[in-house]
Structure 1
Amino acid sequence: MIQSRLLPDGVRLHLNHGPIDLILWADEAVRGAAYAAAAMAFDGLLEDLVAELPALRSETPGPLCHPVAQAMERAVAPFRPAFVTPMAAVAGAVADHVAGAMARTGARKAWVNNGGDIALVLGPGQGFSAAMLGGTVTLTAAGPWRGIATSGRGGRSHSLGIADAVTVVARTAGEADAAATMIANAVNLPGHPAIRRAPACDLAPDSDLGTRLVVTDLGPLAPDEIDRALAAGRARAQRYLARGLIGGAHLALRGQSTAVGAMAPGGALALEETEDA
């Protein structure tokens, strides 16, 4: 059974079911209807996805039944033949699904935050600012980007790479989620002695990563090594940008960063530094 409650501010809604934890906001004019629609879309979703987990954890999932499962597969498909399963897009795709339900109530502005992966509804003249490592990024209705996602070492899921954080903007949260995962995996220094790794299945027996080595700890790195790791991730991000899969990406590691596309310096979504950045 889902848990639903307003947060202490009396405006945002918290929806929870098992491992899925959502924070929602919708404009006041349709807030009641939007939250009711969101709760209805969320109810039973976990059970539906669990029923398809064996396929969702596979590189070749075959036919999928639930619309969110199908959206997960669509989001990751463009990144193959590199290894990726639909699970790389699960958080973003869930956020997209619930945000879509709110949009259908006529919301001019709404958002769903699923652990940092955010799906947006932005009507004419609307915008949304999100805090991220090093500053904030602002999306507006004038652009096509309606998804923000962050991946990296130490996040909710295991990573093949060493990035502190990779934040991506894309057309949907599911697509941003998949891209952030793949770019974060590329921020890497294969064989470096400061990087400790372990088979994913040793840390989580049901991991879709199986025996692939995920990062468990990161020791000291020289500045040129950080540059090299970021350059590897940047190269992958540039390829995704050239293919139109993302609008931009910001990559951070050990106090150094780089960005591509709309999130690069001077871009439409360039990072605005905060005072404590």
Structure 2
Amino acid sequence: MTGPQIAWLADGRRLHLNHGPIDLIIEAFGEEAERRAAYEQAIARFDTVLTGLVEELAELRRPATATTRAFHGVIAQRMERAVCRHAPAFITPMAAVAGAVADEMLAAMCTGRRLEKAYVNDGGDIAIHLAEGAVMKAAIAGTGHGFADRIMIGFADPVRGIATSGWRGRSYSLGIADAVTVLAKTAAEADAAATLIANAVDLPGHPTVRRVPACDLAPDSDLGDRPVTVDVGPLKPGEIASALGSGFALAEEFWRRGLIEAAALFLGGDMRFFGTVALDDTPLKRSRPITAHTEISKELPNA
């Protein structure tokens, strides 16, 4: 494995950091000296992110319980705190790894700095910093046809993390959701909740859904021999509604417990949404046909 790779993107404002499976895009807004210092702090912190996780990887792959384990690394601690609130449901700290890395890298950027806003995008799991009066716009992309909608997050909103999970994503899923996007107080909390809600969007035993044991795809997977979804065939409208309803019920439970702020669930061209986050200054309509991918919008001057 090569060491951390650091490079500026073509716009000269965003920094790309890569080390093994960790792939980040970061951006800071504010005075030039503050921005540069924030980037330097992020680079310094990134140097040990992956090695720190590897040192505790075996325990991080073990299921969480309601009792928080004492991990050494700060990122591992963030992962553990995010998932233990969901026990006794099966979940390991690895369900929150991308979000926890984003949270930690954002903290490294912002420590001692005066920034208007900043974000760390870890493969679609995003941590956000906003100073008073600042606004961040996150774009939810349509199916290959540009942005379908934009969520606007202001300083007063409790949302500082966005995460997406589903069987089409880079991680394995026990469910059949095309995607579940969650907004929460931290990226790690959003990551963990999105994983579980996506798992709950399901039709157990359905003949058009193909699953294989996770360990057949990745021998060291934290999911062991649990069957993960590798293909979803045609589904009837009523089946789609039933699967989405199962996930929506869990999302509402998480919201009532204060674990998330909003969620959008997608399957087979249908969706369910709830939450109070503004969409281009208006509430998001549940019937709006938007899809799975969440990223920070680059085309908006205030994003």
Tell me what 1:230 maps to: 244
Identity %: 53
For the residues of structure 2 that align with 1:251 and 1:275, how far apart are their CA atoms?
11
Q: Does 1:168 align with 2:165?
A: no
Distance 1:276 1:237, change over 3 A: closer
Q: Secondary structure at the match of 2:85?
A: helix
Of the three residues 138, 144, 156, the one matched with 2:158 is 144
> How many angstroms apart in 2 are the aligned matches of 1:257 and 1:176?
18
- Report the alpha carbon displacement of residue 270 of structure 1 after superposing the two structures with TM: 2.5
Which residues in structure 2 correspond to 1:123-272 (within 5 Å)? 123-133=131-141, 134-262=148-276, 270=284
How far off is 1:42 after superposition? Answer: 1.0
Report SS of the residue matched to 1:58: coil
Once residues 251 and 110 of structure 1 are traced to their aligned partners in structure 2, the CA distance between those partners, rounded to angstroms, is 26
* 1:67 pairs with 2:69: no
Alignment partners' CA distance in 2, 1:64 and 1:246: 24
1:95 has 2:102 as partner: yes
- State TM-score, norm by structure 2: 0.87
Indicate whether 1:21 and 2:23 are aligned: yes
Give me the whole-angstrom Cα distance separating, in 1, the residues matched to 2:246 and 2:289. Answer: 29
> Which AA in structure 1 matches 2:11?
D
1:11 corresponds to: 13
Report the count of equivalent residues.
277
Q: Please, what TM-score do these two structures have when normalized by structure 1?
A: 0.95
> What secondary structure sits across from 1:131 in the alignment?
strand
TM superposition shift of 1:132: 1.9
CA distance in 1, matches of 2:40, 2:49: 15
Q: Are residue 107 (structure 1) and residue 109 (structure 2) matched?
A: no
Mapped to 1, the partners of 2:205 and 2:19 lie a distance apart of 39
Match of 2:298 in 1: none
Matched with 2:124 is: 116
- 1:39 is aligned to 2:43: yes
Deviates more, 1:233-242 or 1:253-262: 253-262
CA contact (8 A) 1:262 1:268 kept: no
More displaced stretch, 51-60 vs 223-232: 51-60
d(CA) in 1 for partners of 2:290 and 2:175?
A: 26
The Cα of 1:128 is off from its aligned counterpart by 1.2
Offset, 1:262: 2.3
